[in-house]
């Protein structure tokens, strides 16, 4: 073995604990992304599988290729950028999030997680460090569910929760079909949407809550997800004239839905002390016009609470309120979908690892629970998973006023970098 | 004067009280109309200014011309078919209703009234009877408001309630503009939408309630309209994530709307004994998606009661519930439109005249109040007006199961015929 080769191998084997991500470089990718699919002032409206989504995907794929990654796109448009390690038969360490946004979304939600993965790869490239295991960065399709409901379908499919054909047949409020739009923007890839063995999955995300910001913490070590129970419901009634139809002969599906949303909001207030939340998020009735009672309404509600037992009680109250609301309006209620997220789903060793990196680098950190749904929740059903939260101003999110500064990512991106490399090199 | 001319003049001056409408002929026009713009089984979905509306208008105009009527179309697409009398400088007697339907509408609502007017003209033609005053039959554009809200805009404009330009700028849920659609179907006429002097306005309509059917009455003499108060409201909130946003920091416009509809429905039940009604008819929120709180919602509610003082109390409760609902959801409420219909708006002499014709011809009749809004309500602000109700099965309406038999129209159409001729000949 020549000295040069030995040096090269040594470089490949060690990764200096003093190396840091280039936050300016990371920020420049955030700013480039913020130019694609602008929404209300300062925000983004980059709905999944739209023209703007395609433009952003093209940019991201270009960045991946420039970084020497091997790009694969699966049948649901998930984009994987793979950086080989020294032992490529080992399962990879994965870093992912999403580049799509809500219709009135911000510039950081999801996006920061994908681009933090890109920054990790770029730092490794600059350092000339080959990790032992491969690293794969991912952009998951349709995390938001803002165009095609439910959310997180593509990561869900990846871990076997949904069937690809079912996902492709989803139809948005705009009448477009998921599969058709995927093909239209040219991101219907050839590989199956099916996870192989994965060593670990990391996701960095803005907190989407006010805790880190209000406590001036630099990074949140996510220990669990708020247990969250949700339902999508169809109410069936009967159209009739709004004028002469007596109250006791009415079957107004819109009123059934309104009553349910009201009852669920009441549940939220009843459990607000203790940090419970309940949301009436959607109510879409038909014909939904003056002069006629609606015979159909679709509604989506959910409840969340940090304590699993309390969350279960809230969920049961939501369920009973459903049938009570339907009965009061003389309508039928059909539960079309139910879901549960959260709980102690994250990998203790990985969580401890991220915490240790935050401590080692001297960042102000705290343990925190995640309150929103994330692709990481699905990945956690398949492989060891951890999340890292970064602060956002006032916790404002899903709003064009979502706001972060470059410094807000200093701790999170570096914790991600060192946690990933440690994991990939072990 | 030759004997022949004298005979002809005599014919023109008298109209036998024994003449009757040809209900089979009338029914054949109902059946022809029922082929245009079919909806759910048995029903119609003939939205105003749609292609189907154009087809039906073309048929109606053809029937008018075949009956020798002079057809005029005004700038809002109202179709007038005029049959001259012997003194054409006198204000006409008008018979009108509408040929458009709800999105899940029936085959009789409105349509029967327009085609009853046509039948009156046909009987007069067969009898060779020239009335003293001209008779004008009318199809009013967009009575239903099912595509362009509010309803009855074209009759409202005709009597000076709305400006033509305002009506033309109405935009439907499908994004179409009233004026553009009117032009597209070729019914943007040249005459101003502005009423001249009118001697009397008659409107025959199916009851849209169960009273005549359940009592086996053949015809309803409409004495008044239920006082009806309505509001269109805009709720303004703020988008945010449904997960982490604490209950006390939420401004969910969808929940504000749901609370208001629920409260209004409660008002309806509180006044149901006494025949009060209250309706949450529309709630359209944005973005109205899982994962995000809505920052905008439009809602439409109304209350109706036969007693004007009680209707006022219900209206005030509806108004207070509005601000209470908005406050509970941390939102702003803006009243965009308010309306009042009904009361003692019909002409006593005309009402007595229709009652007398029903009695004379031996039909089973009763006095009845109208509970729905009708073009006649606007006409009543401009000229003496009366309405005639015909039975419909179970009072089912604004539904494809709306159902009538030819016999249900025997009394109504003949009362209309003789009341109109008596009025026009006086």
Pairing mode of beta strands A277-286, A200-206: unpaired
Listed by number, the residues of chain A in 153-172 with a beta carbon closer than 8 Å to a beta carbon of chain B are: none
Would you call A150 an interface residue with chain B, using a CB distance cutoff of 8 Å?
Answer: yes
pLDDT of residue A2: 45
B386 and B279 in a common domain: no
Looking up residue A273, the CATH number of its domain turns out to be 3.30.70.360
Same domain, B84 and B192: yes
Of B146, B269, B276, the CB nearest to A287: B146
Same domain, yes or no: A216 and A258: no
Residues of A in contact with B294 (CB under 8 A): 281
Substitution target from B102, B108, B231, B243 for chain A, most A beta carbons within 10 A? B243
A chain contacts of residue B247, beta-carbon cutoff 8 Å: 268-269, 272, 276-278
Domain boundary among A281, A308, A330: A330
Instruction: Quote the CA–CA distance of A420 and A19 in Å, as a whole number.
Output: 13
Q: Are residues B78 and B172 in the same domain?
A: yes
Q: DSSP assignment of A253-277, as one string?
A: HHHHHHHHHHHHHHHHHHTTTTT-E
What is d(CA B177, CA B164) in angstroms, rounded to the nearest whole number?
13
Q: Which of A82-91, A215-224, B13-22, B183-192 has the lowest mean pLDDT?
A: B13-22
Q: Output the pLDDT for position B13.
A: 67
Q: Is A232 inside any structural domain?
A: no
A5 pLDDT above the threshold of 90: no
What pLDDT score does B84 carry?
98
Residue B348 confidence (pLDDT): 97
B48 touches chain A (CB under 8 A): no
Among the candidates A301, A330, A359, a domain finishes at: A330
User: Does residue A360 form part of some domain?
Assistant: yes
pLDDT, average across residues A166-175:
93
- pLDDT above 90: residue A391: yes
Q: Does one domain contain both A138 and A32?
A: yes
Mutate to test the interface with B, among A244, A304, A337 (most CBs of B within 10 A): A244
Nearest-Å Rg of the Cα atoms of chain A is: 23
Specify if B338 maps to a domain. Answer: no
Best A148, A239, A339, A401 member to test B by mutation, with max B CBs in 10 Å, is A239
Q: How far apart are CA A118 and CA A135, in angstroms?
A: 10
Mean pLDDT of A15-42: 97
pLDDT score recorded for residue B2: 45
Q: Is position A231 within any domain?
A: no
Q: Are residues A96 and A245 in the same domain?
A: no
Is residue A321 located within the same domain as residue A380? no
Q: Which residue has the tokens 């002469």?
A: A244
Check whether A103 has a pLDDT greater than 90.
Answer: yes
Nearest residue of chain B to residue A297 (CA atoms): B283
Q: Which domain holds residue B367?
A: 3-224+343-425
Q: Classify residue B54: in a domain, yes or no.
A: yes
B122 and B67 Cβ atoms separated by less than 8 Å:
yes
pLDDT level of residue A12 (50, 70, 90 thresholds):
low
Q: Are B306 and B410 part of one and the same domain?
A: no
E strand or H helix that includes residue A235: strand A219-236
Helix (H, G, I), strand (E, B) or coil at B140: coil
Q: Is A368 on the interface with B (CB under 8 A)?
A: no
A228-237: average pLDDT: 97
Query: For residues B394 and B406, what is the distance between their CA atoms, to the nearest angstrom?
Result: 16
Low-confidence residues in chain B, pLDDT < 50: 1-3
pLDDT value for B8? 53
Does B390 contact chain A (CB < 8 Å)? no
Assigned domain for B229 exists: no
The string of pLDDT tens digits covering residues B254-288 is: 999 999 999 999 999 999 999 999 999 999 999 99
Residues B116 and B93 in one domain: yes
**What is d(CA A202, CA A194) in angstroms, rounded to the nearest whole number?**
18
Q: What is the mean pLDDT of chain A?
A: 95
Domain count, chain B: 2
What is residue A201's three-state secondary structure?
A: strand
CB atoms closer than 10 angstroms to residue B31:
11
Same domain, A167 and A310: no
Q: Do A267 and A156 sit in the same domain of this protein?
A: no
Kindly report whether the peptide bond that precedes residue B328 is cis, defined as omega within 30 degrees of 0: no
A-B interface: how many C-beta pairs under 8 angstroms?
A: 245
CATH of the domain at A55: 3.40.630.10
Nearest by CB: B243 against A245, A372, A399 = A372
Asked if the Cβ–Cβ distance from A240 to B399 is below 8 Å, we say yes
B26 and B113 part of one domain: yes
Examine the fold and report which residue of B330, B363, B380 is the final residue of a domain before the chain moves on.
Answer: B330
* Phi–psi pair at B39, nearest 5 degrees: -115, -135
Residue in chain B nearest A150 by alpha carbon: B290
Q: Is B103 on the interface with A (CB under 8 A)?
A: yes
Quickly state the pLDDT bin for A341 (edges 50, 70, 90).
confident
Percent of chain A residues past pLDDT 70, beyond the cut: 97
Listed by number, the residues of chain A in 175-214 with a beta carbon closer than 8 Å to a beta carbon of chain B are 207-210
Please indicate if any CB of chain B lies within 8 Å of the CB of A366: no
Q: In degrees, to the nearest 5, what angle opens at C-alpha A180 toward C-alphas A178 and A184?
A: 115
Whether residue B242 lies inside any domain: the answer is yes
Angstrom distance (rounded) from CA B10 to CA A339: 82
């Amino acid at each position: 073995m020549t000295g040069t080769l030995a040096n090269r191998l040594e470089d490949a084997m060690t990764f200096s604990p003093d190396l840091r991500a280039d936050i300016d470089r990371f920020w420049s990718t955030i700013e480039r992304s913020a130019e694609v699919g602008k929404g209300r002032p300062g925000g983004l409206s980059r709905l999944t599988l739209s023209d703007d989504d395609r433009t952003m995907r093209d940019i991201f794929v270009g960045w991946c290729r420039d970084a020497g990654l091997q790009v694969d796109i699966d049948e649901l448009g998930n984009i994987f950028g793979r950086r080989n390690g020294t032992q490529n038969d080992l399962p990879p360490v994965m870093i992912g999030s999403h580049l799509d946004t809500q219709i009135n979304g911000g510039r950081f939600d999801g996006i920061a997680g994908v681009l933090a993965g890109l920054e990790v790869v770029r730092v490794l490239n600059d350092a000339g460090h080959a990790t032992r295991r491969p690293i794969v960065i991912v952009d998951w399709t349709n995390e938001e569910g803002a165009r095609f409901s439910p959310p997180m379908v593509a990561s869900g499919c990846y871990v076997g929760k949904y069937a690809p054909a079912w996902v492709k047949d989803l139809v948005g409020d705009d009448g477009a079909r998921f599969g058709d739009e995927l093909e239209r923007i040219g991101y219907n890839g050839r590989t199956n949407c099916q996870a192989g063995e994965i060593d670990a999955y990391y996701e960095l995300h803005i907190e989407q809550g006010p805790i880190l910001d209000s406590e001036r913490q630099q990074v949140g070590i996510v220990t669990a997800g708020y247990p969250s129970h949700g339902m999508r419901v169809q109410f069936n009634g009967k159209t009739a004239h709004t004028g002469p139809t007596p109250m006791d002969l009415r079957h107004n599906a819109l009123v059934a839905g309104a009553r349910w949303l009201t009852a669920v909001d009441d549940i939220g207030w009843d459990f607000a002390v203790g940090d419970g939340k309940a949301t009436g998020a959607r109510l879409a009735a038909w014909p939904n016009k003056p002069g006629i009672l609606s015979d159909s309404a679709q509604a989506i509600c959910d409840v969340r609470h940090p304590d699993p037992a309390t969350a279960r009680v809230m969920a049961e109250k939501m369920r009973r309120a459903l049938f009570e609301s339907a009965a009061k309006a003389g309508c039928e209620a059909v539960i079309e979908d139910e879901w549960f997220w959260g709980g102690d789903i994250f990998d203790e060793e990985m969580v401890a690892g991220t915490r240790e990196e935050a401590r080692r680098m001297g960042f102000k950190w705290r343990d925190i629970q995640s309150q929103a749904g994330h692709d990481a929740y699905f990945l956690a059903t398949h492989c060891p998973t951890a999340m890292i939260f970064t602060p956002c101003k006032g916790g404002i999110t899903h709003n064009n006023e979502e706001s972060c500064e470059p410094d807000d990512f200093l701790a999170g991106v570096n914790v991600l970098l060192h946690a990933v490399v440690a994991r990939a090199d072990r």
